[in-house]
Amino acid sequence: MGEPLRPVWAEVNLGNFKKNLEVVRQLVSPRAEILAVVKADAYGIGAVAASSAALQVPGVKGLAVATPEEAVELREAGLDCMILVLGPVTSRAARVLAELGVSMTVTSADGLRDAEQAGMTAGKASKVHIKVDTGMGRIGFRPGTELRQALELVSQLGNIEVEGLFSHFALAVQDPEYTRFQLQNFETARKQVAEAGIRPRFIHMANSAAILGLPEAYFDLVRPGAIIYGLYPSQSLADRAKLYPVVSLKARISHVKRVEPGTRIGYAMTYTVSEPAEIATLPLGYADGYPRPLSNKASVLVRGKRCPVAGRICMDQMMVDLKGQPGVKPGEVATLIGTDGEETISLHEVAELAGTIEHEILTGLGSRVPRVYIE
């Protein structure tokens, strides 16, 4: 596509996305294969484009999503690889997933029965991954009685293929003692499954943090999410691997005006100009996913220089103080996230200033912001 009618866009570097997957492959190969996590529209960059790119990387076995609808979108796009829905599904969703050959998570006895019925309807075994709650406290069977009862039920049901057994870390590497506790619980679950005569094809627990800092959790499949989008799950892990930025946010300046000292800018007049200045307006705001808490805090790059956000970020527009840069005109590019010249505004910086995490910034970029793909 050409440049959007409203000159605001997110630039998605699929080349860097694939480089990050290659980083994961180098860390986990040959022990484990990769299940690329593309939930939430691939963290906001576009699930179909990201998934297609991911499957070009050696070692990527398949894709993980959060909802049935996300899986259906990928199948309808022609992707016939392994796809796992990580969240619990309804009986209706189970029927759709079984028909499409999508693997589903089971977290309850009812979920197992729904999967069996879905397999009967589809005329082929439902592929299920048994979720174990090892200490996250969210979903899954707890090791011991709950899991034993589930495995007994599996032995009584037909039309089910137990393709996987998995769990999820609450903290991964930030709390070594609790991480060991979760790993021990998972080992207990693995033994229970083996004693029940079930041999899942895939055992998986490692998320992004565990991939960077906990090799004993690799098993035979890993689930990288944040790191393939260039995000460190914790800055304490930044020295474990070099990641590459995937997303930049850019806009063209829509208006420039010269103002005198004492001029107040924006809603509630929270920014006052102390010297003659030029104020540039950008045609995006918090409705596009640029957080309002960045008002009077963040900077934007214009001609490779940092320019502070001036006043409150509006729903559809925002202002920046050009800080003495002469001759800036409407149509010039402003970089809100990314690199211009020798200066960079990272997702981490933006998230910290907004009081949130990088994942929320990425997934919050709205549908009004077109994604422009580059290699």
Per-residue b/e over 61-87, b at no fewer than 16 CB within 10 Å? bbbbbeebebbbbbbeeebeebbbbbb
d(CA 42, CA 371): 12
**CA angle, corner 299, sides to 297 and 300, nearest 5?**
150
CB atoms within 10 A of CB 268: 9
C-alpha closest to that of 286 among 308, 310, 316, 266: 316
Spell out the residues 6+ positions from residue 18 whose beta carbon is closer than 8 angstroms to its own.
53, 54, 56, 57
d(CA 84, CA 104) in angstroms, rounded, equals 6
In one letter, which amino acid is 123? G
Q: Is 341 left (phi over 0), alpha (psi -120 to 50) or beta?
A: left
Q: With left for phi above 0 and alpha for psi between -120 and 50, is residue 107 left, alpha or beta?
A: alpha
- Cα gap 335→248, rounded to integer Å: 7
What is the Cα–Cα distance from 375 to 365, expressed in whole angstroms?
21
Is 39 considered catalytic here?
A: yes
Beta 82-88 vs 103-106: how paired, if at all? parallel
Q: Which residues pair with 344 in a beta bridge?
A: 339
Which one of the listed residues 43, 61, 191, 267 is annotated catalytic?
267
267 is catalytic: yes
Q: Is 24 left (phi over 0), alpha (psi -120 to 50) or beta?
A: alpha
Could you say which DSSP state residue 202 is in?
A: E
Cβ pair 280, 301 in contact under 8 A: no
- Residues β-bridged to residue 333: 252
Set 39, 127, 131, 250: catalytic member: 39
Q: Compute the distance between CA of residue 145 and CA of residue 141 in angstroms, rounded to an integer.
A: 9
Catalytic residues: 39, 267
